[in-house]
Structure 1
Amino acid sequence: MGKKLSQMNLEELWQLFPIFLTEHEECWKDWYHEEETALKGILPSDRIKRISHIGSTAIKAIWAKPIIDILVEVSESYNLQEFKEPLSEAGYIGMAESEKSISFNKGYTENGFAERVYHLHLRMEGDHDELYFRDYLNEYPAIAAEYEALKLRLWKQYEHNRDDYTESKAAFVKDQTRRAKLDFGNRYED
């Protein structure tokens, strides 16, 4: 039997879980909706502001890592720590934590990726720049194509280094998010 995930160092994890991109799959939308329904069944609805499909799998027609990113915004008056236990019981593993956000993964096994993999971003309401980025790229397919080309260029270079892959996309994401906020105004402020 191999090592447990908790016993692996970062390099071992990156080897087991490389970056790989695939053509857009329509099933990703369904996988998101199924997981959203499950989350609504385990998280207290009075404490959740919004649940959203974010990340590249939520952008039409571009290549993406087949990982469904989910943003869960929690109402300001609640503590994120309250959500750790129900998410853990639902199979999510806490990965990173700060005062205003907790990241969880689901679908990572000692043998590699499961069929369905999720990244859940638990944050305080209003921390949702990804919604602007997602909608901007869906609104402007030429910009989405630029993002796809960037990702494809970086893929093999950083196949086993998620941090550098993400960092290499950061300036593009930040610039397009800024443009989206100018274009869309207060679309998500309610």
Structure 2
Amino acid sequence: MLGLPKGEVLLVPWTEQWGEEFLLEKRRIESGNGAYPLVIHHIGSTAVQSLSAKPIIDIAIEIMRFEDGVQCVPHLEQIGYSYKGTNILPERHYFSKGEPRTHQIHMFQTGSEHLIRQVAFRDHLNQNESDRRSYQELKENLAKTYTTDKWAYADAKTDFVHSIMRKLGFEN
């Protein structure tokens, strides 16, 4: 049910198991990170009920100070994550787990605009069936077009995401 081979874009239907898997992983993360994670969020499409997604659990971790992210590396490596650094995606420490990849962690400083947007987008799709259906259709079409190009797939979703963020009062 989980795992996306490198270089593939594959959507699978939403399942309650994604929420259960997030909770299991959250407990693993909390078990050895002491006071560093303030809040652990389930983000991305696997956190949106009834939305098909790439079978990877996206996790956002809030930390008080961005520099504290390095203190979390040993524990996260111990539970199977690979630390990719801070230059993969903007303003975050990034970790991935598994090959094929099953989980990824985006670690943000509390108050990060990127985190606030991720959570707002997730919450909006969970509460707005019409936008969720539109996003579902878009993702299905793009997954057929970009079966082996995850960057093009992600880029092609940008206009839709920006339109939702404008609805929510965010500037692009």
Larger radius of gyration: 1
Correspondence list, 1:33-182, <5 A: 33-44=23-34, 46-76=35-65, 78-98=67-87, 100-108=91-99, 113=100, 117-127=102-112, 128=115, 129-181=117-169
The TM-score with structure 1 as length reference comes to 0.78
Output the amino acid matched with 2:22.
Y
Aligned pair in 2 of structure 1 residues 40, 13: CA closer, same or farther (>3 Å)? same
| Count of paired positions | 161
Q: Which runs of 5+ in 2 are unaligned?
A: none
Structure 1 CA distance for aligned equivalents of residues 6 and 125 of structure 2: 30
The TM-score with structure 2 as length reference comes to 0.85
The one-character-per-residue Cα deviations of 1:140-180 (angstroms, maximum 9, x if unpaired) are 01101111111001002111111111111112112213323
Higher strand share: 1
Structure 2 CA distance for aligned equivalents of residues 77 and 106 of structure 1: 21
Output the amino acid matched with 1:28.
W
Counterpart in the other structure of 1:19: 9
| Runs of 4+, deviation exceeding 3 Å | none
Contact 2:13/2:50, CA 8 A, preserved across alignment? yes
Report percent identity of matched pairs.
Answer: 27
Post-superposition offset of 1:13: 3.9
